[in-house]
Structure 1
Amino acid sequence: MGSKKGVDRRRLLKVTGASVAALGLLAAGCGAGGGSGDGTVTIRYAWWGAEDRSKRIIETIRLFEKKHPKIKVKTDFQPYPDFWKKFNTQASGGNPPDVFQNAVGFLRKYDERNVLLDLNAQVKAGNLSMDNFRAGLDKFGVVDGKLLGVPVGSNSMGLVIDKKVYAKAGVTPEQGWTWDEFDAAAKKIRDKGGRAADSGMYGVMYLYDLVLRQQGKAFFTEKGLGFTEADLTKWWTKAERGVKSGIVADTEKVVQNKPKSAVTAELAAGEFTWDNFTNRYSAEGKSEYGLAPIPTTDGKKTGQYLGSLMLSGSKRTQHPKEVAQFIDFMVHDPGVGKIMGYDRGVLATTEQYEAYKPQDPVNKEIAAYEKSLVDAGVLEQITPHPAGADVCESAFLRIAEELTLGKRSVDEAVEQFFTECKTALGG
């Protein structure tokens, strides 16, 4: 799931080569998973994440190998940007890992490159169960009828706020509030709270997707962009005005404080991001942080959906059965749920969701937030992204930043974005 998300990932997923080596996570080589004379099969598993995530995943692998002694798992762990660089090299060479962490923006891209294993056959063979997934998540990795990814957790866009600043300004967000009400609240936060209201939402692709969905459109269709240059001109004109008026934090200061969040750096009172990133703010900042609902256009429709990290298999694997068994274990086993917690989002299956009961306030709030979305009936299905969506996401974030830094006019920014996306999407 990238956008502000991409910025947060770089913070959350950063890890040094030394710590990787200390964990002993890098695979001994890049050869395809193989077998041995005693019937033992070895598969390769690759993922991105923070050091804590890797420690948890290694623990789950040990649990899997204990219960499946004839399947051994080689691991390959990278920071987010490095993961995809290495993966692209492996995929181009016909040697991707047997099973790997994936996200919706890459499904069509790698399916079109003939990289992803359709897991439907393994479901029919009884090696992988797609039962007991929460809130329709079992459909999240389905593209053109092919099961290309299996969710490990769920998340949704939310507004992370500094509760003390919001209270000082007398602003109480409620489900169904409108963008007009958000704009009025932003002025109160600036004037009474003494801080910009937002960190820079106009480059967050997944937020703009919700705004478009509220209007009956979407950022992507299955083949390309689902909005016009006029739509984006309106959105980015508002961005430019927001920075000039002090409603949006000074972009130069936000950039200078990276990788720290503008919220915890006390430059902004809130920012739109994925709900499972809320843990970041409590770890980074000194205030009290929480989740507020997404503003709406009509007071009802938020356009939200549950996103998810997924596990995918390689079409070139020599061991599709064992890959499926591994994925099945990782998404259904209660012990795995207890180990992983909400590291990759609220647990996707009922077995794991019920096995893990968060004790800390932040994870309790994340779970409550997603439950409120389900109870409110606002969740919809995401549109599968076209091949090249990841390039468009990166361009959206970068060009919006250039705009708010004053390096491009609105018209120049819009033209540049559509030019780059046309190339990325092939039309």
Structure 2
Amino acid sequence: MGTMNKKRVAQAVAIAAVSALALTACGGGGESEDGEVQLSFAWWGSDDRSELTEEIIAAFEEQNPDIKVQGSYSDWNGYWDRLATQTAAGDAPDIIQMDSQYLREYADRGALLDLSGVDVSKFDESAIDNGRTEEGLFGITTGVNAPTILANPAVFEEAGVEIPDDTTWTWEDYAEVSQQISEGTDGKFGSSGPSEPLGLQVWLRQQGKALTTEEGTLGFDAADAEEYLQHHLDLVKSGAYPQAAMLAGDQTVSVDQSLMGTGQSAMAQYWTNQVSTIASASGADIQPLRFPSPTGSAEDAGTFYKASMLLSASGQTEHPEEAQKFIDFFVNNVEAGVIGGTERGVPANSEVREAVMAELEGPDKASAEFVQEVEPELGPAEPIPPKGFSELQNIVFRYETEVYFERQTPAEAAEAMIGEMERAIAS
């Protein structure tokens, strides 16, 4: 068993233990002798995120002097290991920064509080649904991202190719433009390979299907997978994509070392919150575009809002009302929103978003404006990911690589990929 699988099993065992605990167990917060409510709040992220979060906490405490919030943070991997252990021990933080791929693992075991006391009236319905299971609302979206094709205008100009109209372009247009750029530049490419599972999610949405369903099963079959893999193989063979070895290498490097980040690719698939990172790494005035569609209509591009992250509350908290009050402030208070900016995504609350956008400039502004612009074209939110969802990215990447190197045909890879994905989400 690999290191990642061992870690996954350890987390699952720790999380499962919470079902054996009484949900009245002591949570992370408490109450001081003078009656002051004390809440604990845990998140992952950078030092910059921590500083901004502490400012938001200070603003909340100023308006709510009877509530104190103690914050703590760590890196991504350490965060989930610690949270699983704390939850199993009945000592979870009162307020939890949550990711959609872990939401169901905690919610289904009763480890999270139903957040019906938080106001979501200024949220798009799909943003609300990012945190809702059939049992209730267990995560509040802090900010939203949308799928985007990022374009580097400097590479387009070097190739003598105009940036296409993203409200009308098709996948055939995408392939043609990418090939023209590869042929018209020296050592650069029209497009990087797909970002997964984003690329497959959007492709399937455009076919009226889904990567995973509300029931936690795969929402597509081997024929769909074969068509998708053939599409990417065709782009490799035409020269629109780099060759296999470069594509495989680009799957695992950091964003700033990617083909797009180093200015070697004219286009790549990303989330809108990555515009600033790519712009900074490449030194280019990066432009977000809609995904191409099968029909040439923006309404058929499969656009959706994904929660950049969510806020949840522990089902074990001794202060459910105060925990929800803090979450409500975090996502709905304009002052809090302006402090946080787009650090946790473009604010899900439309009024807060408007105030934040007025303060933005450069790539951050371009990203936020794009998120706002595509709102009329949104489809439904993706279903809450099932357990094992986090393994799908590596599975798709691995079989794409087999196809790029032509070690397997798209049909062979599709059959094997489907089987492995089914096992991952059933385990």
Cα distance in 2 between the residues matched to 1:161 and 1:331: 31
Partner of 1:278: 275
Q: How well do the aligned residues superpose, as a CA RMSD in angstroms? A: 2.4
Query: Which residue of 1 is the match for residue 203 of structure 2?
Result: 211
CA apart distance, 1:95: 2.9
Structure 1 residue 113 and structure 2 residue 109: aligned? yes
Structure 2 counterpart of 1:286, one-letter code? G
Asked whether 1:228 is paired with 2:226, we answer no
Distance 2:406 2:318 in 1: 50
Q: 5 Å matches for 1:166-185?
A: 166-169=156-159, 170-174=161-165, 175-185=167-177
Query: Which amino acid is the alignment partner of residue 363 of structure 2?
Result: V
Partner of 2:137: 147
The whole-number CA distance in structure 1 between the counterparts of 2:128 and 2:253 is 39
**Structure-2 separation of matches of 1:163 and 1:251:** 22
Select the residue among 118, 122, 127 that pairs with 1:137: 127
Q: Structure 1 residues 93, 176: closer, same or farther in 2, change over 3 A?
A: farther
Q: What secondary structure sits across from 1:44 in the alignment? A: strand
Give the match for residue 314 of structure 1: 314
Using the size of structure 1 for normalisation, the TM-score is 0.84
- The residue correspondences of 1:9-408 to structure 2 (distance < 5 A) are 32-120=28-116, 123=117, 128-134=118-124, 136-144=126-134, 146-169=136-159, 170-174=161-165, 175-194=167-186, 195-201=188-194, 203-223=195-215, 224-249=217-242, 250-254=246-250, 258-259=254-255, 260-300=257-297, 301-308=300-307, 309-356=309-356, 357-374=358-375, 377-400=376-399, 402-403=401-402, 406=405
1:155-181 CA-partner distances (Å, limit 9, x unpaired)? 100011111112333132221310011
CA contact (8 A) 2:113 2:313 kept: yes
Whole-Å separation in 2 of the counterparts to 1:397 and 1:53: 31
Q: Is the 8 A contact 2:179 2:238 kept in 1?
A: no
For residues 190 and 325 of structure 2, the distance between their equivalents in structure 1, rounded to whole angstroms, comes to: 47
What SS does the corresponding residue of 1:287 show, helix, strand or coil? coil
Q: Is the 8 A contact 1:197 1:269 kept in 2?
A: yes
1:134 Cα deviation after fit: 4.3
Partner of 2:6: none
How far off is 1:188 after superposition?
0.7
Q: Say which SS state the counterpart of residue 342 (structure 1) adopts.
A: coil
Aligned in 2, Cα 1:130/1:254: closer, same or farther, shift over 3 Å?
closer
CA offsets 1:320-367 (integer angstroms, 9 cap, x no match): 111101100101111111111111221111332232213412122112
- Partner SS for 1:160: strand
Structure 1 Cα separation of the partners of residues 412 and 31 of structure 2: 56
Tell me the residue number matched to 1:5: none
Secondary structure of the 1:116 match is: coil
Q: Using the alignment, how far apart are the partners of 2:389 and 2:78 within structure 1? A: 15
Q: Shift of the alpha carbon at 1:198? A: 2.1
Separation in structure 1 between the aligned mates of residue 211 and residue 131 of structure 2, nearest angstrom: 18
Q: Secondary structure at the match of 2:29?
A: coil
Identity level (%): 29
C-alpha displacement of 1:387: 2.2
Residues 281-337 of structure 1 deviation map (CA, whole Å, 9 limit, x = unaligned): 122122221111110011120111111121111111111111101100101111111
Normalising by structure 2, we get a TM-score of 0.84
Gaps of 5+ in 1: 1-29
Judged with a 3 Å threshold, the aligned counterparts in structure 2 of structure 1 residues 192 and 341 are, in CA distance, closer, same or farther, namely same
Give 1:23's aligned residue: none
Alpha-carbon distance, 1:214 to partner? 0.9
> CA 1:244–1:92 in structure 2 vs 1: closer, same or farther (change >3 Å)?
farther
Contact 2:392/2:424, CA 8 A, preserved across alignment: no
Please say if 1:421 is aligned against 2:399: no
2: distance between equivalents of 1:405 and 1:80? 31
